[in-house]
Structure 1
Amino acid sequence: MIKRLLLVFYFMIAAYEGKSAGLFRDSTLFSAHQLKSDLQYFKILMEKAHPSLYRYVKKDSFNKLFEQASQRITSATDEFDFFQMLQAINSKVGCGHTNLRLSIAAQRKLWARNIPMLPFYISIDSNRLYIQRYIQAPGAAGYRINDEIMSINGLSAREILTKTRSLVGSDAHSNAYKDYRLEKGEFNWLYACIYGNHPEFNFVLKRKGTAISITIKSVVSTKTFKPLKEQEIADSLKLSFPPNLRSTAILKIRHFKDHDFFTDNRLIFKRLEDQKIEHLVIDLRNNPGGRSDMAIDLMKHLIGKTFRFSKQMEAVVDIAKFSALFVANKSPSLAVLKEFPHSWHREESVWSRRQEPYKKQFKGKVFILVNGGTFSSAALLAIALKTQMECLLIGEESGGGSWGCNGGKVLNVNLPETGFQLSLPLMWTYAINDLTNTGMGVMPDYYVKWDIFKVDNPKFQNADPLLKKVAALIR
């Protein structure tokens, strides 16, 4: 399980334009012809089927990225450098659902490496880096939680953060989902892959206004690094009644993928009614999304009038026919791909239709907690509730875009030469709101930041600053 999670973190990383510092010298080499062939295949695939390719990047700029990449391919290149080249392009699209992964063979090679990694997780606040959580106990090195990182191996933290942010995919132009991914451990992977194999790390830290220089020999490596586990393995819904909050229930929704969601949801709202709960906190933090029908079911318990979950869905290919080209992990030829019809059209979906509420709704005050991990259908739910009912959003900007997102149907495609795997969304969903497209996530009414590692840990609930804000608003 840990190995799978480890690899997922690396596969999602975007790239830099240089080489990978000799980390992968025994990786497979592909000829310039093979690489240019896959580069062209990737370009045509995106142009043909991505539903919002030019929403956040201009067509001329997109084409220029491919021209520059093609010019850099002059000789045989290993799979890791080419992977980085493609990710550098992919990250510009502004879609957190479009992900590129290494081939299975390359994944195994990566796992076999023993590259030293940073000995702690980082947090990001106001464009600054901080030590957030230990992976390796500091010992005599003396680094501490909340120390600000000023530089690593002579490079400023600002420079490193700018680089890593620019290499991570995210919805629209927002940094919210980028920072969430970096804080979960992707920063550690990116640093190791970008800046090379360092047996020691030289840090300049700031603590209470004083600069401290330390050297750390990390025992953490690509073989031992354990990224933050997703909460998807747990039950979707968890209801609690904090004793320090008067007549209040907290409904934690970890994801929208649990098949028991509808039954559990009905029982939960019956319990809220029986206990005469006046304040409901819906916690969508670190929620990656999932099934829209589950989000709609929740809305039926909250909104006492006809409502909609989303405005409309659209695509640029016939989804069923296009998907049929890629059956059994096979990819059509470039000629077949070029000839496939491409035209914008609306996708009919029950999720975009008007929905009727249940006979009974929760009548009390509703507070919604969001952060950079509130993504996909969870972000769509947050903006739909904020637009159509009286509620307050507390937390941070959501990782999912406030204007909408790609998803719905996601196609997995293997690039013919390298075997790289692309997750390609085929539908775009417009969110329910009357805002202009600012390229940002859903913004809270009250901004409050909290450690993503503590969000799902019950022992930290009493220290949660978002719940403290709720308590202040209830009084």
Structure 2
Amino acid sequence: MKKISGYIFTCLLLCCYAITSAQSYSGEQIKEDLAVLKNDIEKYHPAPFKYISKDQYKHLYDSIAATIKGRLTLREAYFAFLPLVQSIGCGHTHMMLDRRLLTKSASASEKPKYFPFSVRLINNQLLVSRNYSADKKITRGTEIVEIDGQPVKKILENLERNSFYSGDGINPNARKYYTIREFRKLYYLWKGEQDFFTISYRKPGTDKPKTIKIEAKDSYFMEKMLETRYPDVDEDTTGMVSYKVIDSTRKVALVDVRSFMYDFQNMKRANFEGETKKIFRKLQENKIENLILDLRGNSGGLLEYSTFLLRYFTNQPFDAYRLGFRDESLQRLKQDYKKYDGKFAREAATRLSAEFSVRDSDGFLESKYSRKQRPHDEFRYSNNVYVLMNGGTFSAAALLVSKLHNMGVGTYVGMSCGGAYDGCSAAQFSTIQLPNTSLEISLPLGRILYNIDSKKYDKPILYPDFEVKANLEDFLNNEDTVLKFTLDLIKNKIKVR
């Protein structure tokens, strides 16, 4: 009880440093929102007690409610609710970033100003990866020691504890990954908007830190700075999959699968299947003996893309996954569809009822259609596979990793996977909007089981065969430590599967 209460108190205390919005909410309003949040998670989430018991969840709720004495600002309310959302250990369930917390005013035209650096955490040192500020003194590899008088260690602990993204289950590596990836927004969320940052930094090869005052910048300025200062940096996030031969002597190719996402920019499916087929044709034409499949930072997307890729690595039909809904979740999904006018929305709700009509032993309504997948007829790959993964390998990418591993395919290098090994809560989503603060929570409604054999691997997340972290020398030389290690494995003909 004391441990949980202390944790909640710390979360609330962090907000005292932040610039708060003018509006505040009574203790009664906050408690009402908290109760709605608790009840909706219990009612609609497909597996709220997979990683926490119902009693622990109730105990945490009571502890949070007990800390609410008087009025809270919006930012304080956000941090008060966050531990309850985090507690269920679902990487697809998260507090959504409210624009009111990312700007000084309600104006849609106002752009929030952020900490103007991309950072990496190497050997517990926070290092500058790219400098988007107007000041050129801070170069790649510069260690940030303090920000506004706060030691980096304390900052990272606070941001990690209050990250709105995380992996599945008890997954510290995934939480660290998202803390660094979302560093700018998390720092803003914690401290509020600042015009300047006072930074204590240390250049590579020096001992004594220096101090500099850096102006905060909005995303538009930083994008322009990226184009001018880093013209050779590949920032293409629309290219989903790429291929290149990196060692023709040892017949090594790298396939980088960045995403399985739907093309939201053009509101259509990307040509993932077509591009992937071309790649596997090239693997065969070039007689590739060692394939490096890079899934680091792949946060998932369409399950169909993941299973399409998986079909190149097997010669037997397989069950891809099982998708099911609780009665309440399916009903909420239908109601969400009905909020939209038009024939399509009505037909979608009707199709849900017709398709999800088979009740399993756990009481979930599953699809009546088989998800049996057969191998591709051509260009199947059966040589050595090395899979690169990290805390950002999540959702549909975690499905691919789990299925490959369970099928006995691949040697796994990097850091632990961000997604659970046996399945996740995803597929369809709904938004909980709290009645008083209007804060929103993204909530998955579907339960996805990966149909893996737990006798082959019984841990909740997949750990690599070879854990490899980036090192400082490689970072300063702009080299990929994990890829170098994998190439060394191939050179020495080392593989696990």
Report the TM range for the smaller structure's normalisation: 0.7 to 0.9
- State the alpha-carbon separation in 2 of the partners of residues 234 and 114 from structure 1: 24
Letter paired with 1:473: L
Partner of 2:401 in structure 1? 382
Query: Which letter maps to 1:17?
Result: L
1:364 equivalent in alignment to 2:364: no
Count of equivalent residues: 436
Cα distance between partner residues in 2 of 1:225 and 1:129 = 23
Q: What residue number does 1:92 align with? A: 87
In structure 2, list runs of 5 or more residues that go unmatched. 1-9, 227-232, 262-268, 341-360, 492-497
**Structure 1 range deviating more: 258-267 or 35-44:** 258-267
Is 1:302 matched up with 2:299?
A: no
1:464 corresponding residue in structure 2? 480
1:449 counterpart residue number: 469
1:323 matched residue in structure 2: 333
User: What is the SS of the residue equivalent to 1:37?
Assistant: helix
Deviations 1:89-121 (A, max 9, x none): 212221211122255555563778888754433
Partner of 2:351: none
Tell me which residue corresponds to 1:281.
Answer: 292
Structure 2 residue corresponding to 1:251, chosen from 250, 255, 259? 255
> Residue 10 of structure 1 aligns with which residue?
none
Map 1:182-261 to 2 at 5 A: 182-184=179-181, 186-195=182-191, 197=194, 199-203=196-200, 205=202, 208=205, 211-221=207-217, 226=222, 233-242=237-246, 246-257=250-261, 258-261=269-272
Q: Structure 1 residues 86-95 or 216-225, which shifts more?
A: 216-225
Q: Structure 1, residues 261-306: CA drift from partner, whole Å, max 9, x if none? A: 2233333323322332222222212211111122111121111123
Q: Secondary structure at the match of 1:17?
A: helix
1:394 match: 413
Using structure 2 for the length normalisation, give the TM-score.
0.76
Q: Is the 8 A contact 1:309 1:381 kept in 2?
A: no
SS of the equivalent of 1:16 reads helix
2:12 aligned partner: 17
Query: Shift of the alpha carbon at 1:442?
Result: 2.3
- Equivalent residue, structure 1, for 2:352: none
Match of 1:178 among 155, 175, 184: 175
Where in structure 1 are there 5+ consecutive unaligned residues? 1-14, 330-342
CA distance in 1, matches of 2:260, 2:121: 27
- Decide whether aligned partners of structure 1 residues 37 and 144 sit closer, same or farther in structure 2, where only a CA change above 3 A counts: same
User: 1 CA distance for matches of 2:419 and 2:312?
Assistant: 23
SS of the residue corresponding to residue 214 of structure 2 reads coil
Cross-structure match for 2:57: 62
**Greater mean alpha carbon deviation, residues 77-86 or residues 102-111:** 102-111
Percentage of identical aligned residues: 25
Q: Structure 1 residues 105, 148: closer, same or farther in 2, change over 3 A?
A: closer
Which residue pairs with 2:78 in the alignment? Answer: 83
TM score, norm. by length of structure 1: 0.79
Provide the C-alpha distance between the structure 2 equivalents of 1:262 and 1:60, rounded to a whole number of angstroms.
46
Contact 1:306 1:357 in 2 (8 A): yes
Matching residue of 1:51: 46
Structure 1 residues 69 and 405, CA gap change in structure 2 (3 angstroms): same
User: How many angstroms apart in 2 are the aligned matches of 1:377 and 1:60?
Assistant: 31
Is residue 2:50 matched to residue 1:34?
no
Q: Distance in 2 between matches of 1:155 and 1:468?
A: 35
Given that 1:314 and 1:345 are in contact with CA atoms closer than 8 Å, whether structure 2 keeps it comes out as no
